[in-house]
Amino acid sequence: MTTQVIVNARPWGGEAVDVEIDGGRITALTPTGAAAPPPDATVIDGAGRLLLPSFSDVHVHLDSTRVGLPFRPHSVPEPASLWAYIENDRLHWREAGASVAERATETLGRAIGHGMTLARSYAQVDADCRLERLEGVLAAREHHAERAGVQVVAFPQAGLLREPGVPELMDEALRLGADVVGGIDPCGLDGDPVRHLDVVFDLAQRYDRPIDIHLHEAGELGLFSTRLVLERIRAHGLRSRVTLAHAFALGMSPREQVLPVLDELATWDVALTTIAPGPREGLPVKDVVARGIRIGLGQDGQRDYWSPYGSTDMLDRTWQLAFTQGWRRDADIELGLAVASLGGRAVVDPADRGAEPLSGGQGVAEGDVADLVLVPGDTPTAAVMDRPGGRTVLRGGRVVADDGRLLP
């Protein structure tokens, strides 16, 4: 395999170095110009740009995106309950004018162009779409397999129990190639948390797959569901195998109620993901990180039937995280950048503990996988504030995108 050398790059905004990559991993960082690159090396011009770990979008719905299509006015009727959003999506997703595979492939490609090389995407499985949306996401994953890793969640967006046959469809989805067992609001949506969690944990154990559960439930109900999930984790011995997505109750409940739950999540190495929804629902990120809880960031749905927001750029979502958390200090904003990159890697792969600690280091070191992005900017905070173009994206040391353009 050819050696790659990135010349004149600044890891996490530090001093300029040359970065040697061999076998897909960083093998050396030396002061720029200290030694000539090996004669057979592929040289990549860092041009004095920041060198960051590439971004990880660990909460994205590639099956519902409309990125690249004509803008569609929001049509969820008021009052906008969770079920109203689900119904609106089910009424209209076939009207997009492009298949799920085409839309997912386009959105994933744009995200890669912005610097993302790892995603965890939900794929809706229900009595309406059956496995069609899953198959579309799997096709997008295959199309971009050399550019990004995509972990696919079989996701019962409309519940597991409200309609017949959904558990059986989930079973088939896992046999078709879904990587993760999804769940959603066991109390608020399905109304039977015991049966809901029975199905989720049974599938996870039979197929030896991790679990990712959406928890939109607020307040005491959300904390109750969280405790029920923790009980199942303890009973089944599934440490490091469960992610809670959104977990709004952890941001909306009194801190004295939340901190003991966070301690329990840390004990069982339960990961969290956030979409930076706003100051009311947002996770207490600093409290989460202080306990060593794995946490990642995601774009959620993008320009879809749920929301007009989303740009496929994880720097945009990092800015949103910093803004909604009320962060102003560089160290805090850099923490958000670490959550958007290293944090997501640890959510997908609990063995990837390079995300600990999430702040205080260069974020790029010898031995690391060379999944990287070069970004113009004076400092990491400046990059988050400005979200500049002119980025170069590497996966395993190979350039896969430059200035937004995908390379073969």
Are both 42 and 75 inside the same structural domain?
no
Q: Which of 61, 65, 52 is nearest to 19 (CA)?
A: 52
Contact criterion met (CB below 8 Å) for 11 and 32? no
pLDDT for the residue 358: 60
For 12-42, the three-class secondary structure string (H helix, E strand, C coil) is CCCCCEEEEEECCEEEEEEECCCCCCCCCCE
Are both 184 and 47 inside the same structural domain?
no
Encoded amino acid at 77, one letter: P
Are both 275 and 351 inside the same structural domain?
yes
Q: Which of 36, 118, 119, 151 is nearest to 396 (CA)?
A: 118
- What CATH number has the domain bearing residue 219? 3.20.20.140
pTM: 0.96
pLDDT for the residue 280: 84
Are both 237 and 369 inside the same structural domain?
no
pLDDT for the residue 77: 87
pLDDT for the residue 2: 79
pLDDT tens-digit profile of 261-312? 999 999 999 999 999 998 889 999 999 999 999 999 999 999 999 999 999 9
Are both 276 and 383 inside the same structural domain?
no
pLDDT for the residue 355: 52
pLDDT tens-digit profile of 53-109? 999 999 999 999 999 999 999 999 888 899 999 999 999 999 999 999 999 999 999
Q: Which of 274, 240, 299, 282 is nearest to 118 (CA)?
A: 299
Are both 214 and 157 inside the same structural domain?
yes
Contact criterion met (CB below 8 Å) for 336 and 324? no
CA distances from 262 to 59, 228, 251, 265, 371 (A): 20, 14, 11, 5, 30
Are both 207 and 338 inside the same structural domain?
yes
pLDDT for the residue 105: 98
pLDDT for the residue 382: 98
How much is the average pLDDT of 168-175?
A: 98
Mean pLDDT of the chain: 95
On the question of pLDDT at 354 being above 70, the answer is no
Residue that wins the pLDDT comparison between 347 and 278: 347
How far is the C-alpha of 135 from the C-alpha of 113, rounded, in Å?
23
Look at the block and give the residue holding tokens 């997703």: 93
Within the chain, what is the greatest distance between any pair of CA atoms? 66
| CB contact set of 141 (below 8 Å; sequence gap of 6+) | 108, 121, 150, 152
pLDDT over 90, % of the chain: 93
| Total structural domains within the chain | 2
List residues bridging with 402 in a β-sheet.
Answer: 392, 405
pLDDT for the residue 79: 86
How far is the C-alpha of 190 from the C-alpha of 59, rounded, in Å?
22
Q: Give the long-range contacts of residues 74-79, CB within 8 A, separation 24 or more.
A: 74/307, 74/308, 75/305, 76/305, 76/306
Q: How confident is the model at residue 23 (pLDDT cuts 50, 70, 90)?
A: very high
Last residue of a domain, one of 355, 375, 391: 355
Last residue of a domain, one of 324, 339, 355: 355
Q: Which domain holds residue 126?
A: 58-355
On the question of pLDDT at 361 being above 70, the answer is no
Last residue of a domain, one of 320, 339, 355: 355
Are both 26 and 138 inside the same structural domain?
no
Are both 141 and 245 inside the same structural domain?
yes
Mark 186-211 as b/e (b = at least 16 C-beta within 10 Å): bbbbbeebeebbebbbebbeebebbb
- What CATH number has the domain bearing residue 16? 2.30.40.10
pLDDT for the residue 32: 95
Are both 302 and 189 inside the same structural domain?
yes
On the question of pLDDT at 325 being above 60, the answer is yes
On the question of pLDDT at 360 being above 70, the answer is no
Are both 149 and 67 inside the same structural domain?
yes
Compute CA 392 distance to the chain's CA centroid, rounded to the nearest angstrom: 20
Are both 49 and 150 inside the same structural domain?
no
pLDDT for the residue 359: 52
DSSP string spanning 53-86? EPEEEEEE-TTT--TTSPP----PPSS--HHHHH
Contact criterion met (CB below 8 Å) for 290 and 243? no
| CB contact set of 258 (below 8 Å; sequence gap of 6+) | 223, 249, 250, 284, 287
Counting Cβ atoms within 10 Å, is residue 228 exposed (0-12), middle (13-18) or buried (19+)? Answer: middle
On the question of pLDDT at 356 being above 70, the answer is no
Encoded amino acid at 80, one letter: A
According to DSSP, the β-strands at 17-22 and 42-45 are unpaired
Compute CA 291 distance to the chain's CA centroid, rounded to the nearest angstrom: 20
Residue that wins the pLDDT comparison between 23 and 1: 23
Q: Which of 353, 351, 344, 395 is nearest to 58 (CA)?
A: 344
How far is the C-alpha of 36 from the C-alpha of 58, rounded, in Å?
38
Q: How confident is the model at residue 314 (pLDDT cuts 50, 70, 90)?
A: very high
How much is the average pLDDT of 230-241?
A: 97
CA distances from 60 to 144, 217, 320, 345 (A): 16, 19, 15, 14
